[in-house]
Amino acid sequence: MKFFIDTGDVGEIREAYAMGLVDGVTTNPSLIAKSGRKYRDVVVDICEIVNGPISAEVLTTSYDEMMAEARDWHKVHKNIVVKLPLIPEGLKAVKTCAEEGIRTNVTLCFSPVQALLAAKAGASYISPFIGRLDDVGETGMELIAKIVTIYNNYNFETEVLVASVRNPVHVVDAAMLGADICTIPFSVMLQLSKHPLTDTGLKKFVEDAKKIPR
Ligand code: E4P
């Protein structure tokens, strides 16, 4: 399973990249707003660090405006994937982007049939938001299972990019289901390496290492 990092913080991307945990990056308007920087500046910086798919989301919602943004992003860097919302206008833009060779990540997916539509329109990636489904009392991971089954049934090439990941269990469950990618916040990436037995075991090794004659 590929790991993307879900952030607009270039410092976090550098740290995670150094640990070999970054195959790509996803951003969204909320993450970029937190950075206090211009969207384009952040994405250009990211493209210099990571040689993989970098999702940049459109800031408009009409077909014409989204296509203008998509074509602009496509000119900025070859690794940029245009993130489009799962609405009828967004699906139209996904189809045109596919025809023009612009890769897309369809965002804000909350149902299996929405994922089916995105694949039919020619999306490169589908982003089901599992944490937000858990937040409203549904089981986000059930959505991933259904999408993986549907895409396998029909050999869709759209990759399943598990989004809105909130904890290590989400990552393990996504991997068990065979999802293509998890996009993970930096804080969760750090949690992934943690185990209390690793910490106590290392403490003992460090203590015993001092007893070894040198
Ligand atoms: C990624 O593509 C999404 O924008 C992101 O994972 C949303 O996560 P959130 O639900 O924690 O905001």
For 76-126, the pLDDT digits (tens) are 999 999 999 999 999 999 999 999 999 999 999 999 999 999 999 999 999
Residue 174 banded pLDDT, cuts 50, 70, 90? very high
For 126-141, the pLDDT digits (tens) are 999 999 999 999 999 9
Strands (E), 110-206: 125-128, 159-162, 181-184
For 140-159, the pLDDT digits (tens) are 999 999 999 999 999 999 99
One of 2, 38, 83, 120 is an active-site residue; which one?
Answer: 83
3-class SS of residue 175 = helix
Ligand 1 lined by 131 (C-beta under 6 Å): yes
Nearest CA to ligand 1 atom 1: 163
Residue 83 annotated in active site: yes
Place of tokens 């289901």: 177
Report the predicted TM-score, pTM, of the whole model to 2 decimal places: 0.96
How far does the centroid of ligand 1 lie from the alpha carbon of residue 48, in Å? 23
Between 1.10.490.10, 3.40.50.300, 3.20.20.70, 3.30.460.80, what CATH number should domain 2-209 receive? 3.20.20.70
Strands (E), the chain: 2-6, 24-26, 54-57, 80-85, 104-109, 125-128, 159-162, 181-184
How far does the centroid of ligand 1 lie from the alpha carbon of residue 167, in Å? 13
